[in-house]
Amino acid sequence: GVLVLLLLPLLLLVLVLVVGVAVDMVELVEIDEVCVSVNVLLVVVLVALVLVLVLVLTLLLVVVLVLVLMLLVLVLLLVLMVLVMLLMLLLLVVLLVVVVLLL
């Protein structure tokens, strides 16, 4: 659910980018001084949007990686705990066997 909420703005940004590029193409056909300045502005805005997108994506990637690493660490800790418990049980069994044999 959270991922969908995060992805919706990204999709909207992509749509805005596509529309902006389309408008750019249309305006490039009618070459006026005003349109050139508008084009420059659009290009700047597009570059800024792309940079923001890249930043957001990299942040998301980092967050996901950190979460995955944390999960892996937790799993490893759980496995270690289980192994320790098993070792303890084995030691107890061995001790019991030794005690029984001695008795």
What's the CA gap between 98 and 96, in Å, rounded?
5
What pLDDT does 82 receive? Answer: 95
Smallest Cα–Cα separation from 16: which of 49, 51, 52, 47?
Answer: 49
Of residues 32 and 5, more confidently modeled: 5
What's the pLDDT tens digit per position in 73-94? 999 999 999 999 999 999 999 9
What's the pLDDT tens digit per position in 23-62? 676 666 555 555 667 777 788 888 899 999 999 999 999 9
Instruction: Give the pTM.
Output: 0.41
